[in-house]
Chain A
Amino acid sequence: GDSVTQMEGPVTLSEEAFLTINCTYTATGYPSLFWYVQYPGEGLQLLLKATKADDKGSNKGFEATYRKETTSFHLEKGSVQVSDSAVYFCALTDSSGGYQKVTFGTGTKLQVIP
């Protein structure tokens, strides 16, 4: 079946540091890939998405590129802020069975210190 593997957290960075959160996937069909973010006490919010190979999703300074050859969708940001502290989830959506099936990674907690 489908699966998403994220790097273990927590990740602790100083403000303005470069961020990379690794995500790799396995899927039976041709999935769309997503990053969601969860701030403390809240539900998940869509951060960015990519629907086909070599697509780059971007939002709020975050970027991720759909790499079909390496089955990866790593999240990057050039300069993190304290307000970026949250849990980040990589996810894929596959509809090869005729309906939507979403698979989430385990989440990576990011803590940014001033």
Chain B
Amino acid sequence: QSVLTQPPSVSGAPGQRVTISCTGSSSNIGAGYSVLWYLQLPGAAPKLLIYGDTKRPSGVPDRFSGSKSGTSASLAISGLQAADEADYYCQSYDRSLSAYVFGTGTKVTVL
């Protein structure tokens, strides 16, 4: 149902770099609305990681970085750590729906 599509899962070994894609359309990411990323640990609320496509809130390590191109966005996690195992969600605004929308979510597994 979500208008922002993410891969269900990605995995990597400790220390590696992984990327998570978020594919939208011309009514959300492609329309120029900025993308946000959240991390959600099991049983916890989502935590803001990235806003404005690339900006990190205070306290978020620079191992996390965001990018955007066309109708898609990506979150990169470098120097993967066991503590990074979580679900990750992208978010933007959709002008056709007139609503803030979230991605389908991606589970990151550290091998």
**A pairs with B:** no
Chain A residues within 8 Å of B, Cβ to Cβ: none
